[in-house]
């Protein structure tokens, strides 16, 4: 037996005619030694299912007229092959092993060991994918780790999810709600992605730093003033002013990535612009810091 490739979905292995016959003989001996209930319980499938799978392989290799054959097996099928050999080697009592199975027991154990390694590796890859896979949108919303930036005409909600397997990063999902002049609500959301604690910390630090600037400090600054830019979202200051009620505000342009850029083409963003009261902005900054501290523990 030779292993070609292993993924979480399939394992491609090379088997000889003799090795396929060993599996077929093991199936026969397992069926003879076990009751129908025992067979299905210990091997995980019925005899009919196991027999159908092996017959299809034997037929395929017979039609190819070759001594070896590459077969692609799911984890379910690899587990079946593992269980067939495991039973004849360690489960059932089998006299005249080599005569009935077609190969000395020690050699069959070597094949079993190879199959077992493939099975374990596929299971390990699957577990790693479960840990590393970015949570779904519903996972973020249910996590209750969120911060809201409320502006005049739109609301940006940052949802966060702690990723145990990825150090120094956090999962992020952003939802942008805004209303048209006809009071029709529009919603744009990002795809769940990872972002480093450092980048988020810099975003909050730059936003906080700008709110602390005086009018004298701001004079001569480029407009729009770039607060933060990443492949996921951008924030720019368009204007700073005071309302008729003497409330300070920043006119922010918030842009959310709408698609993956191709080649060297500039990445497309969808943006919305509106005034954010400094009181709302400071509340947002504070909540972001609290969430980041909690997630980084």
| DSSP string across the chain | -EEEEE-SSEEEEEEEHHHHHHHHHHHHHHHHHS-HHHHHHHHSS-HHHHHHHHHHHHHHHHHHT-SEEEEEEEHHHHHHHHHHHHIIIIIS--SSHHHHHSS-HHHHHHHHHHHHHHHHHHHHHHHHHHHHSPPPHHHHHHH--EEEEE-SSEEEEEEEEE-TTSTTEEEEEEEEEEE-TT--EEEEE---EEEEHHHHHHHHHHHHHHHT--HHHHTT--SSEEEEE-SSEEEEEEEEEE-TTS-EEEEEEEEEE-S---TTSPPPEEEEEEEEEHHHHHHHHHHHHHHHHHHT-
Work out the mean pLDDT of the chain and round it to a whole number: 86
Task: Tell me, yes or no, whether 8 and 108 share the same domain.
Answer: yes
Domain boundaries, position 80: 2-132
Do residues 165 and 124 both lie within one domain? no
Residues 268-295: tens digit of each pLDDT = 788 888 899 999 999 999 999 999 988 8
Is the pLDDT reported for residue 259 higher than 60? no
pLDDT band at residue 221 under the 50/70/90 scheme: confident
Residues 155 and 272 in one domain: yes
What pLDDT is stored for residue 263 in this prediction? 47
The mean per-residue pLDDT over the stretch 15-29 comes to 90
Q: Which residue has the higher pLDDT, 219 or 39?
A: 39
Res 284: pLDDT: 96
Q: Are residues 96 and 142 in the same domain?
A: no
Q: Which residue has the tokens 């005249």?
A: 96
List all residues 6 or more positions away from 95 whose beta carbon is below 8 Å from its beta carbon: none
- The per-residue pLDDT for 180 is 63
Does 168 lie in the same domain as 112? Answer: no
Are 15 and 1 contacting, i.e. CB atoms less than 8 angstroms apart?
yes
Same domain as 33, residue 156: no
Confidence tier at 26 by pLDDT (50, 70, 90): very high
For residue range 133-173, what is the model confidence (pLDDT) as tens digits?
Answer: 677 777 787 777 899 999 988 899 999 988 876 778 899 99
What the block records as the tokens of 54 is: 């092996």
What does the angle CA 207 – CA 271 – CA 243 come to, to the nearest 5 degrees?
A: 55
pLDDT for 265 beyond 60: no
Number of domains in the chain: 2
- Residue 111 and residue 50 in one domain: yes
Please name every residue paired with 252 in a beta bridge, in sequence order, or none if there are none: 237, 274
pLDDT band at residue 5 using 50, 70 and 90 as cut-offs: confident
What whole-number distance in Å separates Cα of residue 148 and Cα of residue 285? 10
CA angle at 272 for the pair 269 and 275, rounded to the nearest 5°: 145
Domain final residue, candidates 78, 107, 132: 132
Q: Choose one of 106, 132, 158: the last residue of a domain.
A: 132
pLDDT band at 267 (very low <50, low <70, confident <90, very high): low
Of 65-69, 112-116, 143-147, 292-296, which gets the smallest average pLDDT? 65-69
Q: Is the pLDDT of residue 260 over 60?
A: no
Residues 153 and 60 in one domain: no
Bridge partners for 257 per DSSP: 269
Burial of 115: CB neighbours in 10 Å, binned 0-12, 13-18, 19+: buried
Take residue 39 and report the two structure tokens written for it. 């067979």
Say if residue 290 is in the same domain as residue 159. yes
Q: Which two tokens stand for residue 292?
A: 């980041």
* Of the candidates 179, 108, 126, the residue with the CA atom closest to the CA atom of residue 150: 179
Examine the domain organization and report whether 153 and 247 are in the same domain: yes
Q: Where is pLDDT greater, at 173 or 185?
A: 173
Instruction: Kindly state the average pLDDT of the residues 33-44.
Output: 93
pLDDT above 60: residue 216:
yes
The percentage of residues in the chain with a pLDDT greater than 90, rounded to a whole number, is: 45
Region 6-28: what's the mean pLDDT? 88
With the CA atoms of 85, 89, 92 and 94 taken in that order, what torsion angle do they form, in degrees rounded to the nearest 10? 110
Task: Specify the CATH number for the domain of residue 266.
Answer: 2.30.31
Judged against a pLDDT cut of 80, whether residue 247 lies above it is answered with yes
Question: Which stretch of 74-88, 114-128, 212-226, 251-265 has the lowest confidence by average pLDDT?
Answer: 251-265
Do 273 and 153 belong to one domain? yes
**Same domain? 74 vs 141:** no
Q: Give mean pLDDT, residues 40-56.
A: 90
Q: Which of 77, 102, 132 is the last residue of a domain?
A: 132
């Amino acid at each position: 037996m030779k292993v070609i490739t292993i993924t979480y979905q399939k394992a491609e292995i090379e088997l000889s005619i003799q090795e396929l016959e060993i599996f077929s003989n093991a199936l026969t001996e397992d069926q003879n030694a076990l009751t129908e209930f025992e067979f299905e319980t210990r091997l995980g499938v019925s005899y009919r299912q196991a027999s159908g799978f092996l017959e299809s392989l034997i037929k395929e290799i017979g039609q190819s007229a070759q001594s070896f054959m590459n077969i692609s097996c799911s984890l379910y099928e690899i587990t079946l092959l593992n269980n067939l050999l495991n039973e004849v080697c360690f489960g059932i009592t089998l006299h005249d092993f080599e005569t009935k199975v077609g190969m000395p027991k020690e050699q069959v154990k070597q094949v079993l060991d190879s199959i077992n390694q493939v099975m374990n590796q596929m299971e390990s890859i699957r577990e790693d994918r479960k840990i590393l896979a970015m949570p779904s949108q519903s996972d973020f919303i249910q996590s209750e780790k969120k911060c809201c930036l409320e502006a005049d005409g739109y609301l940006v909600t940052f949802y966060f999810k702690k990723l145990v397997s990825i150090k120094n990063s956090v999962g992020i999902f952003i939802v942008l709600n805004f209303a048209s002049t006809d009071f029709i609500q529009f919603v744009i959301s990002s795809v769940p992605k990872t972002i480093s604690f450092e980048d988020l910390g810099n975003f909050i630090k730059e936003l906080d730093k700008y709110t602390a600037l005086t009018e004298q400090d701001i004079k001569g600054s480029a407009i729009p003033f770039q607060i933060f830019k990443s492949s996921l979202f951008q924030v720019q200051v368009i204007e700073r002013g005071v309302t008729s009620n003497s409330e300070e505000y920043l006119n922010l342009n918030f842009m959310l990535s709408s698609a993956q850029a191709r080649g060297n083409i500039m990445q497309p963003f969808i943006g919305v612009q509106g005034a954010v009261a400094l009181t709302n902005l400071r509340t947002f900054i504070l909540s972001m810091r609290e969430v980041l501290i909690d997630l980084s523990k």
